[in-house]
Amino acid sequence: MARNTRRTHNHRHHSHRIERPAAVIIGMMGAGKTRIGKESAHMLGLPFADADHVIEHRIHMSIPDYFAEHGEPAFREVERDIVCSYLKHFRGIFALGGGAPMTPAIQDALKEYKQHGGKVVYLMAHPEEAMERANRGGGRPMLHGDANARWRKLFVERDPTYTKLANVIVRTHSMSPIRAAERMIDVINERIVHVTGEGIEDYDVQIGEGALAQLPHVLGSGPVRVALIHTTSVRRHSDHARTLLRQAGYDVLDIVIPDAEMGKTIEVANGIWERLGNEGFTRSDAIVGIGGGACTDLAGFVAATWMRGVHYVNCPTSLLAMVDASTGGKTGINTPQGKNLVGSFYTPAGVLADLQTLTTLPNDIFIEGLGEVVKSGYIGDPEILNILRDHAEELRNFDGASFLGSDLEPVVAELIERTVRVKARHVSADLREAGLREFLNYGHTFGHAIEQLEHFRWRHGNAVAVGMVYAAELSRLTGFVDTAFVDDMIELLESLGLPTTWHHRSFDDVLAVMHRDKKARGNTLRFVVVDEIGHATRLVDPPADAVEDAFRFVQD
């Protein structure tokens, strides 16, 4: 019960911000929408509403009697009005009748609800179980005649719509109502960031315990073969993903790549292309990347280039990958001349940030990911910086073994969500980094130089942390910020355990690498700087002495 109590507190902490349901349950007759919805609402201390019961109260008669007297079209109009109202003015768990999602106006309302972070849960029971419950319950005008045959026919008609509308699926096969309600609670406590924009196929970033279970749903029924690309260091999580995929009926091609940046090379990509060719991978098959940022970068690059683009899903297992590499559609590999110089803009079908994968993350790898979190606070969400300051000690002492169920878990979940939202805003407005998206590179021009000159022995988040100090000092030297701004940044980074200095003998080496940065134009250097917390701007062709003085500032 302690687990559920904690979750109740977390939900109430956020519920005052919204006027929308915590979750909307859809599914076939007999799926258990009412019983499981009531149970999960009770566990969470939330109200529960069943659309059919609300309708009967409104029309002052049973639904079968209303069907008989007024017909289905009249019923659907009443249902439409009530459902659309509850989607905007009800804070609990809301279960819809089986036919409600087939109404176009309700479909549009559910899509809008999802865009605000709502969870549309497709509750799937085993067909035999659902039919037995539906028959036992009675009072279902849509099942007149041969009830089982009618149920199967309706399932064939409705399942594609349910699947398309839902952003999460809960399968209750052989589950007790209590266990199914607990799984529902896991789903309700997930955070979903909807990414959309011009030139982007909409997708969701799902953040929470057990999010990986949604992998078959995100992949969909189209692919037959799935290439599971992962590193040896995440074998526990790749084993889980492989099991989920095989249980869902996919043929799984297991592809293991080197850890970290050593896996982001043309040689590794070429080896994967060869395997895909030998296995007969077609355009309708799919790629799944599970691992850190380097792995998801490579998986996306392979997906973007194989047959000019195949379906892919990112399953990040590190904090850095969850907040940065897995979201936004930038894929790429490294070359001897620089990092990510070869790549493509190609968005995933979805991102599943399962907090359970952080339990195996070493402390130093977790802290590295905080570098990108800090960056997002400075360029787009000052509240991130407040959360980091308030919880610096707990974050610095992160221990994966005790993470789940701790007070730190909701803090990390909120930091991931906020950071992803910052990235989503920039990506939605500028997929191909022609304008606003460039601000996501705050700290990266100098940070990438560190990585390159250290032959990738420095981790990305650590390099970005020093890169932000460099950019802050450069902006102070050019009049954008004062000394207090730089000092406060250094204090925050150090409180989190992130580096703020780096030693390299040759400024000329650093300058040469920065000139090869993607933001450079010809011989003109371009930097992203922050002129006030939460707002970034460009610094084009700064004075040469300021560029060098900032380099001297970060030398240890």
Q: Which of the residues are catalytic?
A: 308, 330, 372, 423, 433, 437, 441, 444, 448, 460
- 147 among the known binding-site residues? no
Beta strands 526-532; 535-540: pairing state: antiparallel
- 294 among the known binding-site residues? yes
- 16 among the known binding-site residues? no
Q: For 116-234, where are the alpha helices, taking DSSP H only? A: 127-137, 147-165, 177-188, 215-219
Q: What is the DSSP letter of 441?
A: G
- 390 among the known binding-site residues? no
- 478 among the known binding-site residues? no
- 357 among the known binding-site residues? yes
- 208 among the known binding-site residues? no
Instruction: Count H helices and E strands in the chain, helices first.
Output: 23, 16
- C-alpha span between 417 and 473 (Å, rounded): 29
**Which contiguous run of DSSP H or E holds residue 2?**
helix 2-15
- 443 among the known binding-site residues? no
Query: For residue 313, which amino acid is it?
Result: V
Identify the sign of the CA torsion 308, 311, 316, 317: negative
- 264 among the known binding-site residues? yes
Written as six digits, the tokens of 411 are 């803090």
- C-alpha span between 71 and 75 (Å, rounded): 7
Sheet arrangement for strand 168-171: 48-50, 93-95, 23-26, 120-124, 168-171
Choose among 443, 544, 552, 448: nearest CA to 507: 552
CA-to-CA separations, 184 to 10, 159, 210, in angstroms, rounded: 15, 19, 11
- 23 among the known binding-site residues? no
- 132 among the known binding-site residues? no
- 129 among the known binding-site residues? no
Q: Which residues of 132-157 are buried (b: 16+ CB within 10 A; e: fewer)?
A: ebbeeeeebebbeeebeebbeebbee
- 537 among the known binding-site residues? no
- 315 among the known binding-site residues? no
- 31 among the known binding-site residues? yes
- C-alpha span between 459 and 448 (Å, rounded): 10
- 284 among the known binding-site residues? no
- 447 among the known binding-site residues? no
Q: What is the CA radius of gyration of the chain?
A: 25
- 318 among the known binding-site residues? yes
- C-alpha span between 128 and 132 (Å, rounded): 6
> Residue 453's CB: how many other CB atoms inside 10 A?
18
- C-alpha span between 366 and 78 (Å, rounded): 51
- 275 among the known binding-site residues? no
- 419 among the known binding-site residues? no
- 261 among the known binding-site residues? yes
Residue numbers in the known binding site for Zn(2+) are: 372, 444, 460
Binding-site positions for Mg(2+) read 34
Residue ranges at the known binding site: 30-35, 52, 76, 98, 140, 158, 259-264, 293-297, 317-318, 330, 339, 357-360, 372, 444, 460
